[in-house]
Amino acid sequence: MRALGYGSGKITALFLGKAVIVGLLGAIIGFLVGTYLALHFGPEIFKMTAKTVMKPQLPLLAWSLIFAPLFAAVSSFIPAMIAAAHDPAVALRQE
């Protein structure tokens, strides 16, 4: 992308933006699958909670929507910096 004229900041923003989107999708899918499994199999596994009504824990969704994209962005920060600093001549050279 640097060979096409994009600056390091734009490349970094692209990689970090992609990580945030993947983190958001992972949080939503993980919450939905986890909630389904807990509601479906939970009463059979945990007999003590079978007497109470199990319901989705929406505060967990809020926390996962905050921390999953943040964790994904922090995790991809170093690779994004390496990609932004990579010399385009070296990347395009065929050996």
Domains of the chain, by residue range, sit at: 16-86
Give the total residue count for the chain: 95
List of residues 6+ apart from 71 with CB closer than 8 A: 23
Separation of alpha carbons 59 and 51, rounded Å: 22
Entry pTM: 0.76
Position 46 scores a pLDDT of 74
Q: Render pLDDT for 34-89 as a digit per residue (tens, 0 to 9).
A: 999 988 887 777 776 555 677 888 999 999 999 999 999 999 999 888 888 877 77
* pLDDT surpasses 60 at 95: no
pLDDT tens digits, 3-34: 777 788 888 899 999 999 999 999 999 999 99
SS (H, E, C) 23-78: HHHHHHHHHHHHHHHHHHHHHHHCHHHHHCCCCCCHHHHHHHHHHHHHHHHHHCHH
